[in-house]
Structure 1
Amino acid sequence: MAKTCARYQIPVPGRGYWAKFEAGQSATKTPLSKIDNPTLETVHIGAYKPPVKPYVAFAIEAAASTVAVLRSANPHQYGEVSVPGVRVHKSSVSRLISVLHHLALALDQRDIMLSHGEKGIKTAIGPDDVRLEISEARNREKQVPTPAERKRQEEHERRREIAQRRGQWLYPESFWLEYDYIYSGKLSLADGARKRWNDGKHQSLEATLEPMADGILFHLAFEKARREEREAEERRRRHLANRRELHKKRQEREANRLSFLRWLAEQKEAADLRTTIAKASEFLPEASSEYLGMTAWAEQRLAHLEAQNELDVLTSNLREQNLFPDPDDLHDPEGDPAPPKSPWSY
């Protein structure tokens, strides 16, 4: 029952209430606080689960993670509750939970997802997201110590003086904080560096939930446009890099083509061998075995060179070196790309 009351923000009797009640003494009852969250207006005990409207169910699910973190967070030294994306005083947590529920409803109507993680509160449509920061305005004031704190401080200083006279050392201590933080109760919500909504003199944060949701939607649209532009720029960069790589390979292929054609044009060895073999045949009747071996080797060499110039062999060599492919795998329909700009050019 106590957990149910805490979950639905229902105050419970304080310590000593029932003892005073049984003794016939007057006991103060804490009135119910105003609840803006529609999901907390009705309490059901037991296994009964009332039908929940889809948009309310979404709000519960979307804000549940943030609510759970807020409820489990331990307040800091000044009563501040600080979790990723949120920094408010503990007295503002209940109100903030209500704001988050209603904000989730407004965002759901715009197809915006609300979630909470290690990096804070996130709103998202698809791959685009915007982080939310919720904070409470505070003022730093010089703290004025109470008489009791001053008395403890003076007593400690007196003990330090006595310790020093005895040749001992006693560390200094401070019995009150130098500054105190006064929380105003005014909440502020910011979606990154784009927009900020605040509690004002005549308008609360709850009254700006619809404009807030519209602003977040606009910010998400801006982030989507910026992402698409980055993706388009990356596609252009990769396309240009591919064209420049093709251009480089075409230049290398042109050099290989020229080398191959020069090799064909400069084949004088075959002509020289034919002349040599023709003259050597005149001396075959009285030639020695060594001379005949040389002539035979020259004829074999000539046959090999002539075979290299045959159509099927030339075609095979051209294909092996990929000098004139059809279709051309290095063709660029846009022509040669412009060379990259030098960092020193103006």
Structure 2
Amino acid sequence: MTKVATEYGVTGTALKKTCDRHKIPTPERGYWAKLEHGKPVRKVPLPKLADTRLAQIRILGGAGERLPEEVRQAKAMARRRLEKLAASVPNLASVATEAHAVEAAVLNATRRAIYKARPDEEGFVAARGRGVVALKIALPSIERGLQVLSRFLALAETQGFRPQVADNGLDLVVDGESIAFGLEERPGKAPNAPTAVELKRRDENHPWANSSTPWQKYDNAPSGRLAIVIRANSYSGLRRTYSDQKTRALEDILQTVLAGFAEHAALIKERRRADEERKRQWREAEARRSREEAFNAREKQRLAFVDAIHEQLAQRAKLTAVLSHLESATGDEARRIGPMLAWVRRRLHQVNALISPLFLDISATFAKIEFEEPRADAEIEGSGGYFSSSPSVELQLWSIDEKKGLATSRTELQWALEAGLVPADLADVPGDKQ
């Protein structure tokens, strides 16, 4: 069960419960040992299912199985390095112990802080601060806890991991990533001895047929079981607590703890990479959106400018047709329509000026209308309200000073006066000056 469970990324207990739910028989206790020694064993066949819904099983696996491959590889590589080191240095544990004197300087602040702390009502003392490993531990376990930390940091040094003073603790820098950690004593349960007040309250409640006791059955108490706790990557599925077990002390699994730190460091890197990738994709999406908006705005202006030209072309065609008709008049009729003919000719002259290539180019430049597509990078840099301040799209008449290289916008009357199409004395008519 344990070996198969590993393949699915779950615990043996979880797989056993899954089998029980789906009516799948599993080996009895001692099955493989009996089989190995030639003793008779009972192999239960798969039963027929009354509920067909139980025929399909879905095992999602632990959260660790869904972690990026880079994270799993980092842990495996760290384990291989540590195993290789242990093979080359048989007394690796004693080497780490001898390094205690070197590492003690790093833990001086932790030692001072924990010995100054006062026990709480459950018998634990706690320490935290700049350069102090976060501790919560009982007084009898302090010395062992400091020794565990010394050995752990000495072993970490063999892998190039180093402690780093932080404002609220002592972090371990693993592959360039700073990881906060602490040492805790796991609380145990001790029977609660009721106080005199609690006993009196119970006796007072007895006449009311209230049989519940007005106190906790158990209290938290020091257990002597120590644990190194990694304070990073919450809710990631990675193991964050490594503690004493019944058959294995914390000192014996320090290599596993370090491999866990390497895994956490890899996840921090991967999350940062993923976050940077998300930001990059967001920036690209924003750039595409901005470019699309800028393109649409340019197209709208271009079409408006073309519409203005088309309007003038339509007007010119109309004026040309009228002019042709008026010019066909002779004699007294021609004299009568002389002013009208002069106005049509002036109007045609004005329209031709408005849609002349020179005036069109100046009008487009003045209205900030670009008919040549800009480069993508220049467009992104120029985005952000570029078109919001553009002048309205309209064709204009211009007075050009070639010596100064300037073009000045003119009203229809101003342009007609300067072009000699309107008598100069009309410039003095009230209301015509601009």
Could you tell me which residue of structure 2 aligns to residue 317 of structure 1?
Answer: 363
Superimposed CA distance per residue, residues 241-277 of structure 1 (whole angstroms, 9 cap, x where no aligned partner): 3212212322232222222222212213345556777
For residue 181 of structure 1, the aligned residue among 206, 212, 220 is: 220
Superimposed CA distance per residue, residues 31-75 of structure 1 (whole angstroms, 9 cap, x where no aligned partner): xxxxx57555xxxxxxxxxxxxxxx3xx45644444443333322
Which runs of 5 or more structure 1 residues have no equivalent in the other structure?
A: 1-35, 41-55, 158-175, 333-346
Aligned length: 254
Distance 1:326 1:238, change over 3 A: closer
Verify the 8 A CA contact 2:123 2:222 in the aligned structure 1. no
Verify the 8 A CA contact 1:81 1:88 in the aligned structure 2. yes
Q: Secondary structure at the match of 1:75?
A: coil
Could you tell me which residue of structure 2 aligns to residue 100 of structure 1?
Answer: 149
1:106 maps to amino acid: L
Aligned equivalents of 1:139 and 1:224: distance in 2?
36
Aligned equivalents of 2:216 and 2:166: distance in 1?
33
Which runs of 5 or more structure 2 residues have no equivalent in the other structure?
A: 1-96, 129-133, 201-214, 380-434
Verify the 8 A CA contact 2:100 2:147 in the aligned structure 1. no
Question: Normalising by structure 2, what TM-score?
Answer: 0.47
Could you tell me which residue of structure 1 aligns to residue 353 of structure 2?
Answer: 307
Verify the 8 A CA contact 1:198 1:205 in the aligned structure 2. yes
For residue 261 of structure 1, the aligned residue among 292, 303, 306 is: 306
Superimposed CA distance per residue, residues 164-222 of structure 1 (whole angstroms, 9 cap, x where no aligned partner): xxxxxxxxxxxx99854331211012325522322233432222223321221122113
Distance 1:104 1:275, change over 3 A: same
- CA RMSD of superposed structures (Å): 4.1
Task: Give the CA deviation at 1:297.
Answer: 7.6
For residue 242 of structure 2, the aligned residue among 177, 197, 200 is: 197
Whether 2:133 is the aligned partner of 1:87: answer no
Could you tell me which residue of structure 2 aligns to residue 30 of structure 1?
Answer: none
Could you tell me which residue of structure 2 aligns to residue 225 of structure 1?
Answer: 270
Question: Normalising by structure 1, what TM-score?
Answer: 0.57
Whether 2:158 is the aligned partner of 1:109: answer yes
1:42-53 superposed matches below 5 A = none
Distance 1:118 1:327, change over 3 A: closer
Aligned equivalents of 1:65 and 1:305: distance in 2?
89
Task: Give the CA deviation at 1:302.
Answer: 4.7
For residue 254 of structure 2, the aligned residue among 202, 206, 209 is: 209
Task: Give the CA deviation at 1:89.
Answer: 0.9
Could you tell me which residue of structure 2 aligns to residue 47 of structure 1?
Answer: none
Superimposed CA distance per residue, residues 314-346 of structure 1 (whole angstroms, 9 cap, x where no aligned partner): 2233344333225444899xxxxxxxxxxxxxx
Distance 1:194 1:251, change over 3 A: same
Q: Identical aligned pairs, as a percentage?
A: 21
Verify the 8 A CA contact 1:113 1:125 in the aligned structure 2. yes
Aligned equivalents of 1:325 and 1:194: distance in 2?
55
Q: Secondary structure at the match of 1:266?
A: helix
Could you tell me which residue of structure 1 aligns to residue 388 of structure 2?
Answer: none
Aligned equivalents of 2:238 and 2:253: distance in 1?
16
Verify the 8 A CA contact 1:62 1:113 in the aligned structure 2. no
Could you tell me which residue of structure 2 aligns to residue 252 of structure 1?
Answer: 297
Q: Secondary structure at the match of 1:321?
A: coil
Aligned equivalents of 1:298 and 1:330: distance in 2?
49
Whether 2:75 is the aligned partner of 1:75: answer no
